[in-house]
Amino acid sequence: MNRSNKTIRLIKRPEGKPTADLFAFKESPLPPLKDGEYLMRNMYLSMDPALIGRMRDEEGYTDNVTLGEVMHAYGIAQVIESKNSKVKVGSVRLGQINMQEYAIFSDPDACKELNLGLASATDFLSAVGLTGTTAYFVLNEIAKPKAGETVLISSGGSSVGGVAAQMCKSMGCKTVAIVSTEEKAQKVKRDFLYDAAVSYRGKSIEQLYSDIKQVCPDGVDVYFDNTSGDISEAVMDNLNLHARIALVGRMAISHLADTRKDIGRRDESILLTKRIKKQGFVLLDYQDRLKGAILYLARQVKEKKIKTKFDVMEGMEQIPTAFLRMLDGKSDGKQLIKLADIDHALDKTPRWIGRLLTSRYFPTNKLAKKLTGGI
């Protein structure tokens, strides 16, 4: 069948905050499948903050998008044609499928097959996917919060922040969010059960420092840093002796053409005198242990111990708007784009396996601990 593929390409690099004119729509015919290849119809795309880094001409921990190339994005797709004996037609897969209607691959492992009995497709793009597993490994490997400690999370209303907050709450920690507005502060307390939340928009570093101090009178033991920049500078003097800082994201400096040139107060003095541990985090380092984290999070979501939220917009045309909404903090949950419905009748992956692994009678947590290295 002759098919055409609608794509979104990056035609300019951002100078400051990304804008809609960086993207261009293009439609071109799909080439016929070669031996060993498989064709997927893209179902959901995830609008992730990390994509901003890929748009820049800056050295990072992933490949950058070259100008004119289809804009990168992670998402979920279904195989609709296969000339690869290892890839079944109908299987639902997660991977870097990019901002387009169809994707062709040859490596069967480029996109991982999902078991939708374990979690829904949208959960696989949030609490059970890259954002949930980020929260999981940051907390277990770097931050290591203990009951009674205060955990402060910037971008507290983000998908990563929301999962982290709920996990910390269940460990007996006090959880505090930093978010853009007062309205959002109230909302994240309801949605993710934060004990307190402060807003940063329109405030000086000094003002934000004292607002944090007011809601964290005993100081901050763990800072889950999704923003960097001025927000993190306001946190510094609130940190306790032996605090841990997990550096996870750079939302507050994403408007800079080169994030390496962010300037601000140096933190060595505070780190030294308070013996603070600060460590960067990249999920790619935990690839071989993802299964265990996914298993644990899928069970938590199924038992409603972790609540997950999505903001779904439909159609290729909505992608630039959805991406910019995410950047403006206007999305109500993980910002997704839906491109097509999954044909569940076509997916022959046995769901009972996923259901069994997450059932109350199955020792999922023990198994997850084993697979994640004994956390």
Ligand X SMILES: NC(=O)c1ccc[n+]([C@@H]2O[C@H](COP(=O)([O-])OP(=O)(O)OC[C@H]3O[C@@H](n4cnc5c(N)ncnc54)[C@H](OP(=O)(O)O)[C@@H]3O)[C@@H](O)[C@H]2O)c1
Nearer to ligand X, 184 or 299 (CB): 184
49 near ligand X (CB under 6 A): yes
From 130, 198, 316, 336, residue interacting with ligand X (rule: CB under 6 A): 130
The nearest distance, CB 144 to ligand X, in angstroms, is: 17
The nearest distance, CB 77 to ligand X, in angstroms, is: 19
| Number of DSSP helices (H) and strands (E) in the chain, helices first | 11, 15
From 127, 167, 179, 236, residue interacting with ligand X (rule: CB under 6 A): 179
139 near ligand X (CB under 6 A): no
Sign (positive/negative) of CA torsion 187, 191, 197, 200?
negative
Footprint of ligand X on residues 233-252 (CB under 6 A)? Answer: 248-249, 251-252
Q: What dihedral do alpha carbons 49, 50, 51, 57 form, nearest 10°?
A: 130
> DSSP string of 162-206?
HHHHHHHHHTT-EEEEEESSHHHHHHHHHHH--SEEEE-TT--HH
Nearer to ligand X, 248 or 294 (CB): 248
Q: How far is CA 150 from CA 136, 212, 217, in A?
A: 17, 12, 10
The closest residue (CB) to ligand X is 249
Per-residue binding string, ligand X, 189-228, x by CB under 6 A, is: -------------------------------------xx-
> DSSP string of 259-319?
GGG------HHHHHHTT-EEEE--GGGGGGGHHHHHHHHHHHHHTTSS---EEEEESGGGH
The nearest distance, CB 235 to ligand X, in angstroms, is: 13
Which part of the chain contacts ligand X (CB under 6 A), choosing from 79-87, 98-106, 190-198, 329-337? 329-337
What is the distance between the alpha carbons of residues 133 and 81, in angstroms, rounded to a whole number? 30
From 42, 155, 175, 300, residue interacting with ligand X (rule: CB under 6 A): 155
The nearest distance, CB 177 to ligand X, in angstroms, is: 8
**Which residues of this protein are in contact with ligand X, per CB under 6 A?**
48-50, 130-131, 134, 155, 157-160, 179-180, 184, 226-227, 248-249, 251-252, 281-283, 326-327, 329, 334-335
